[in-house]
Amino acid sequence: MKTPFVTKTQLEEITKTYPTPFHIYDEKGIREKARALYQAFSWNKGFKEFFAVKATPTPAILKILHEENCGVDCASGVELLLSQKCGFSKNEIMFSSNDTPKEEFLAAQKLGATINLDAYDHIAFLSALTKTDGFEFPKTMSLRYNPGGVFSMGTQIMDHPEASKFGMTKDQVVEGIKALKKLGVETFGLHSFLASNTVTNDYYPELARQLFEFALEIRDLVGVEIDFINLSGGIGVNYRPEEKPNDIAVIGEGVHRVFDETLAANGMPNVKIYTELGRFMLAPHGLLATRVLHKKKTYRTYIGVDASAVNLMRPAFYDAYHHITVLGKEKSTSTETVDVTGSLCENNDKFAKQRTLPTIEPGDLLVIHDTGAHGFSMGYQYNAKLRSAELLLQENGEAKLIRRAETPEDYFATLYGFDFE
Ligand SMILES: *Cc1c(COP(=O)(O)O)cnc(C)c1O
């Protein structure tokens, strides 16, 4: 069972001011999550979380995370701009981009962000920019490693790095460090992202072992001691209530053990651990509130709600499961198997398929869980459906508007030759 962080009474009150649909975030939960993460890695002196901005690019959220000592991980020029405007600076900003336009490299360098290079060829690209655009190689840079092959844990295949567009081969990382050294870079980091939404406490320790051992190899091969190792994102959440949630304390201890066995045991006890978590930090601390508009029975029973895939794309895009609570009917014994749908002219606009839920009627308020990351931010405007509002449930229990819903004016704002008046 999943219990929403707001009650029916609270949400009904909130909807009097802010009509559904909207995403709402839980400040208390976010702060507690950040503190639990820092606690789990408190054994590592240089530990820092760089929150993946793409998961929840909302200033009010980024500011909370900043107050909890998090930096940001950006992948585009506008994410850099957003982070800068939210008060992040220099070594609080990781730039883990790929297929990067030159303007964005230049912006990252100007900000003093740590550039995490995705490709060996980008070294030549940046070298050329030193001549044409005044790019200067920073003293600290990071390289993104992709070990290729299949990433498995035990008998389970987690992902296929060989098919991933990200990162460099082992040789490229080694040659890249040599080349960057010649260009004046003094301090190096190593980054890798091997599997997404892992629901196991063993992913980070396994990834860490590969990176820690590689760091020792790099010292032998190039004589460079890696300064930080960035385990990036990938720690998942239990979207399904029957899944066992990850335990960050256990994960931190797992990485600690591997750290002691590899780096610390071999004379590199000061390597800093970085993370770029998005989903793990925010997903459970946001939800999409939506009201039931219609109930329709044909070959199936359809519950039509006022949110649609434009507000939460994951079910339509990945066939992802998001748990749904029918507020006020948690204990109902009357159930029905339904599809919960939005209004897009797309049959994949379904938040749930053939799900057994308490019997729902028009007017009921539903909560779609775990939308705090990769929820609002993946939104779009298909069918001229507009982006919803975002609210923050503050620690004092009051809801605050942190992004208004879009209006038709917003939708038309970029058009020429069209008179909205
Ligand atoms: C998306 C992304 C993350 C965050 O991933 P989560 O699965 O949300 O933790 C971190 N780093 C990079 C480079 C990413 O692209």
- CATH number of the CATH domain containing 301: 2.40.37.10
Distance, CA 166 to ligand 1 centroid (Å)?
Answer: 12
Give yes or no for a contact between 310 and 317, defined as CB atoms under 8 angstroms apart: no
Q: How do residues 357-403 score in pLDDT, each as one tens digit?
A: 999 999 999 999 999 999 999 999 999 999 999 999 999 999 999 99
∠ at Cα 108 (127, 51), nearest 5°?
135
Percent of the chain having pLDDT more than 90? 98
Q: Whose CA is nearest to atom 3 of ligand 1?
A: 233
Which residue in 70, 74, 86, 345 is the catalytic one?
345
Closest CA to 48 of 60, 34, 59, 58: 34
Residue 34 lies in a domain: no
Question: What would you measure as the largest C-alpha separation in the chain, in angstroms?
Answer: 72
Report whether residue 147 contacts ligand 1, using a CB cutoff of 6 Å.
Answer: no
Domains in the chain: how many in total? 2
| 376 inside domain | yes
In a domain, 195, yes or no: yes
- My answer on whether 251 and 301 are in the same domain is no
Do 257 and 263 meet the contact criterion of CB atoms below 8 Å apart? Answer: no
Of all protein residues, the one whose alpha carbon is nearest to atom 10 of ligand 1 is 233
For the question of residue 345 being annotated catalytic, the response is yes
Encode pLDDT of 270-323 as tens digits: 999 999 999 999 999 999 999 999 999 999 999 999 999 999 999 999 999 999
Query: Which residue has the least CA distance to atom 5 on ligand 1?
Result: 233
What are φ and ψ of residue 225, in 5° steps? -95, 115
Is residue 245 domain-shared with residue 302, that is, in the same domain? no
Q: Which of 389, 377, 404 is nearest to 283 (CA)?
A: 377
pTM: 0.97
Task: Show which of 220, 250, 277 is a domain's final residue.
Answer: 277
Residues 176 and 191 in one domain: yes
Residue 224 and residue 85 share a domain:
yes
Question: Which structure tokens are listed for 158?
Answer: 């987690």
Q: Using the atom order of ligand 1, give the atom closest to the CA of residue 55.
A: 8
Q: Is 104 helix (H, G, I), strand (E, B) or coil?
A: helix
Do residues 375 and 359 share a domain?
A: yes
Give the span between the Cα atoms of 289 and 320, in whole angstroms. Answer: 18
Pocket test for ligand 1, best of 54, 114, 115, 377 (most atoms within 8 A of CB): 54
Band of pLDDT at residue 154, cut at 50, 70 and 90 = confident
For residues 35 and 74, what is the distance between their CA atoms, to the nearest angstrom? Answer: 22
End-to-end CA distance of the chain: 49
Whether 359 maps to a domain, the answer reads yes
Q: Are residues 169 and 228 part of one domain?
A: yes
Residues 333, 338, 340, CA angle at the centre, nearest 5°? 115
Nearest ligand 1 atom to alpha carbon 191: 13
Query: Is the domain of 91 the same as that of 151?
Result: yes
Boundary (domain end) residue, out of 211, 243, 277: 277
Examine the domain organization and report whether 319 and 373 are in the same domain: yes
Which of ligand 1's atoms lies nearest the C-alpha of 373? 8
Owning domain of residue 349: 14-21+284-412
Q: Mind giving me the DSSP string for 140-161?
A: EEEEEB---S-EEETTEEEE-G
Unique residue bearing structure tokens 């770029």: 276
Q: 61, 70, 73: which to mutate for ligand 1, most atoms within 8 A of CB? A: 73
pLDDT at residue 1, rounded to an integer: 85
Q: Which residues contact 319 (CB under 8 A, 6 or more apart)?
A: none
Determine, yes or no, domain membership for 319.
yes
